[in-house]
Amino acid sequence: MLLEVKELVKKYGEGSNEFCAVDHADMNVNEGEICVILGQSGSGKSTLLNIIGGIETADSGSVIIDGTDITRLNQKKLALERRKTIGYIFQFYNLVPNLNVRENIRVCEYLTKKPLELEMLINTLGLKEHQDKFPNQLSGGQQQRCAVARALIKNPRLLLCDEPTGALDYKTSKEMLSLLCEINEKYNTTILIVTHNEKIAELAHRIIRVKDGKITEQSENKNIRTVEEIDW
């Protein structure tokens, strides 16, 4: 098992304005799985992902990644653990505007001792002819592929994706999901995808549903489908 979340709690506000964004969440994800976390806007799914990724802190509970409880680490050790283990694909890419595609990817190459090979990633992700372009010269799909390459070059054990198709059109969304499935198969990368799109869950090995900060369901998908097989 690569990821264990135990009794995780995150609250915001004070007094009568206090609300629980993550309410005693428990979940497990095995190495090499694609796990989809489903929930409507405001359900707490992105907060849960951010705590797993070490971007936000929990009020209580634990997040154990490959045997290490990251909630118990100080900031320096947490930063090192994130560099070593976690890749993050944000919904809005967060590319550096004054760096070209190759340079944006290389930003994260230096964060690990065992990066994936840059040229291989650029070729695999269809970025070879775009590698000298800047973000404002790329389509949404090309920017997303650059963001994926930047996250992958670290060779992470765990890849976190926050609404990875939320800002993409239909065709590019399907390409993005096919790419994530390919990454999972090729590198055995464990992938967590946060989304409100029920169809995406059909690709996953494991499905987790979140409502009002609570995990209401956690199940294994016995009928995994490819992107082409899903009736979008």
Q: What tens digit of pLDDT does each residue of 74-100 get?
A: 999 999 899 889 999 887 788 999 999
Give the model's pLDDT for residue 53: 96
Give the model's pLDDT for residue 121: 87
Q: How far, in Å, CA of 218 to CA of 211, rounded? A: 12
CB 22 within 8 Å of CB 9: yes
Q: How far, in Å, CA of 55 to CA of 28, rounded? A: 19
**How large is the average pLDDT for residues 108-120?**
85
Q: How far, in Å, CA of 232 to CA of 227, rounded? A: 9
pLDDT band at 20 (very low <50, low <70, confident <90, very high): very high
pLDDT band at 183 (very low <50, low <70, confident <90, very high): confident
Q: Among residues 171, 194, 210, which one has the least CA distance to residue 90?
A: 194
Give the model's pLDDT for residue 203: 96
pLDDT score of 167 more than 80:
no
Higher pLDDT, 22 or 16: 22
**How large is the average pLDDT for residues 150-170?**
87
pLDDT score of 72 more than 80:
yes
Would you kindly state where each structural domain of the chain is located, as residue ranges? 3-220
- Residue carrying the six token digits 């989809």: 36
pLDDT band at 184 (very low <50, low <70, confident <90, very high): very high
User: What count of other Cβ atoms lies within 10 Å of the Cβ of residue 143?
Assistant: 24
pLDDT band at 221 (very low <50, low <70, confident <90, very high): very high
Q: What would be the CATH architecture of the domain defined by 3-220?
A: 3-Layer(aba) Sandwich (3.40)
Give the model's pLDDT for residue 186: 87
Model's pTM, two decimal places? 0.90
Looking only at the bridges linking them, the beta strands covering 68-69 and 86-89 are unpaired
